[in-house]
Structure 1
Amino acid sequence: MGKTIIGIVGSYRKGRVIDTAVTEILKGAESVGSKTEKIYLTEKQIEFCNNCRSCMQQPGDKRGDCVYDDDMEEILQQIDKADGYVLGSPVNLGTVTAVMKRFMERLAVYAYWPWGKIAGPKFRNDKLNKKAVIVTSFTPPAWLGRLILSGTSKSLKYMAKVMGARVVKSLYFGMVGEKPETGLDEKSLQKAFKAGEELAKNLGD
């Protein structure tokens, strides 16, 4: 039975760089037998985390329950069932987009941090037995963006860790801010496709 990979798109622009890259990664994963799903965060009702920490009070591997009744619960159920993830966001003011940050904060359910505990939260799945690919884009050339705009990739890697996944591939696409219709060239599409193949082949390792 094929493994399941979920692509989470934190971009506001369908059909552009991040969305296209996530799509190609998922196609690559499908080519070697994985099942895939894609989530557009802009289409989901996700409330702001209010830092009540109710979801973090009970110990154990099972994720906590959030006090909000919104679309995040459905997303969390998909995350729980998946074997791998693709997390994508462009750089916005040096970090992930606001909608991706909202999603990120709601991942608090995957941590244990009871009141009275001075040390920081403990991730419920610290075995990192799932796998992930992260993808980001920015205006400078890729090599330069990786150096001076690393906030987004660091946040995406942190999200993967919270979700119990080890990042097996990081994709950086530069020179995408020159015009509003910027897309990915054939070389970049192939790179994304191969990343999907690699992700799928690493599942279960």
Structure 2
Amino acid sequence: MKVSLVNGSPHKHGCTNRALEEVARTLAEQGVDAEIFWIGAKPIGGCVACGGCNKLGRCVFDDQVNEFRQLAAHADGFVFGAPVHYAHAAGSLLGFMDRLFYANGRAGQPNVFAHKPAAAVLSARRAGTTASFDDINKFFTISQMPVVSSRYWNNIHGNTAEEIEQDKEGLATMRMLARNMTWMLRCIEAGRAAGIEPPAMDPDMEFTNFIR
């Protein structure tokens, strides 16, 4: 089993990464492979609604988004982490996820996210974590992904990676998140071995909006 963790901070070794390291270390202790993917320090724009992914099966902007999607195909679970900027998750991560999830499963390519457990992790100096938590979780709930919880919201506090060490409860929350992720992955694995298949899509699914 393997979990891919995404560091959506512009700082490769900052607070968000420290939180993800705690999750990754605990996953490894549970026998689960864990790999942290850094999206980089350059600005990442969101989806421009060009429709190119419907033809290519990937985003037309060939950057970290397409690179991570290839890795995601071989992962069994995900953790997306971000710092809080102005009481919302960092814009670069949201742009990254916009394109990643929108291009997923297009043009006959496999859906690499459906039915795989996922979790959000947020870091902040002080506030805005729960609003940012909601930002990221919405990607999972529209993508048929079971959301993994901890014993508290998956938040950690500090202004530097060194300060994170003082948030003992936050670090414990990260460890509990990893153990819950492991438990859910093992449950899914056991179900698959018992012949339990993922739920089928509704063949009569019809997309509507509010004016028709």
Equivalent position of 2:21 in the other structure: 23
Instruction: Report if aligned partners of 1:110, 1:163 keep a CA contact under 8 Å in 2.
Output: no
Equivalent position of 1:118 in the other structure: none
RMSD over aligned CA atoms reads 3.1
Q: Which moved more, 1:161-170 or 1:86-95?
A: 161-170
The count of aligned residue pairs is: 180
Residue of 178, 181, 190 corresponding to 1:196 = 178
User: Judging changes above 3 Å, is the alpha-carbon distance between structure 1 residues 27 and 162 closer, same or farther for their aligned structure 2 residues?
Assistant: farther
Q: What do the CA deviations read for 1:53-80 (whole angstroms, capped 9, x no partner)?
A: 222x47xxxx932222223222001112
Instruction: Report if aligned partners of 1:32, 1:201 keep a CA contact under 8 Å in 2.
Output: no
Q: Which moved more, 1:181-190 or 1:76-85?
A: 181-190
Residue of 89, 106, 128 corresponding to 2:82 = 89
Counting aligned pairs with the same residue, the percent is: 22
- Cα distance in structure 1, aligned partners of 2:116 and 2:90: 24
TM-score (norm 2): 0.71
User: Following TM superposition, by how much is the alpha carbon of 1:46 offset from its aligned partner in structure 2, in angstroms?
Assistant: 5.2
TM-score (norm 1): 0.73
Q: How does 1:85-164 map to 2 (within 5 A)?
A: 85-107=78-100, 108-110=102-104, 128-140=114-126, 145=127, 150-161=130-141, 164=144
User: Following TM superposition, by how much is the alpha carbon of 1:21 offset from its aligned partner in structure 2, in angstroms?
Assistant: 0.8
Q: Which amino acid aligns with 1:5?
A: V
- Cα distance in structure 1, aligned partners of 2:143 and 2:2: 15
User: Following TM superposition, by how much is the alpha carbon of 1:202 offset from its aligned partner in structure 2, in angstroms?
Assistant: 0.8
User: Judging changes above 3 Å, is the alpha-carbon distance between structure 1 residues 149 and 79 closer, same or farther for their aligned structure 2 residues?
Assistant: same
Instruction: Report if aligned partners of 1:134, 1:156 keep a CA contact under 8 Å in 2.
Output: yes
- Cα distance in structure 2, aligned partners of 1:163 and 1:103: 16
